[in-house]
Amino acid sequence: MVGLCAAMMGMLGCPMLTGETFPDDDMMGGDTSVSLTAMGTWTLGDGDLEAIQGGLVYFNLHTADNPAGEIRGQITAGDDANSFVATLSGDQEVPAVETGASGTGTLTLNEDGTEATFDLTATGLSGSLTGAHFHTAAAGENGDVIFAITDTIIEQ
């Protein structure tokens, strides 16, 4: 996997992405199943902490087949005050997307609530990933991008 941030992996705050593309049973059809792992650090801006704690932030993965988003996961409280989790699926997209893709994500706040580290995995995506972001909105609503996990992703 090659991407803008993947080329700069040691830099502070730059998300690290790895991915693989697996051909499906129909090798001649050109369909693929894409898997993804992303991790990085997000320096929180004004209102981001409150949005996370209020359940108003979600992971969204966009593909060529589903440019508005293939799978989404609302970030909810985890085991302690600084940890949050998400389960990504197509039925959380607005409108819902029929897909076999799924994913999980975690987000952990630092002690002073100024940074969040995240870890995201997804499998079964319909094809090339065109974007991976944090958005802000309540479940069942679409929202604006507040942090791009990556702007350019190329699977090989």
Asked if 58 contacts 39 with a C-beta cutoff of 8 angstroms, the reply is: no
Q: Is the pLDDT of residue 72 over 70?
A: yes
pLDDT at 85: 98
pLDDT at 14: 42
The domain spans of the chain are: 2-6+37-154
pLDDT at 130: 86
User: How far apart are the C-alpha atoms of 5 and 132, rounded to whole Å?
Assistant: 13
Q: Is the pLDDT of residue 40 over 90?
A: no
Going from the C-alpha of 53 to that of each of 43, 77, 97, 142, the distances in angstroms are 15, 7, 27, 18
Length of the chain: 156
3-class DSSP state for residue 5? coil
Q: Is the pLDDT of residue 28 over 70?
A: no
Structure pTM? 0.79
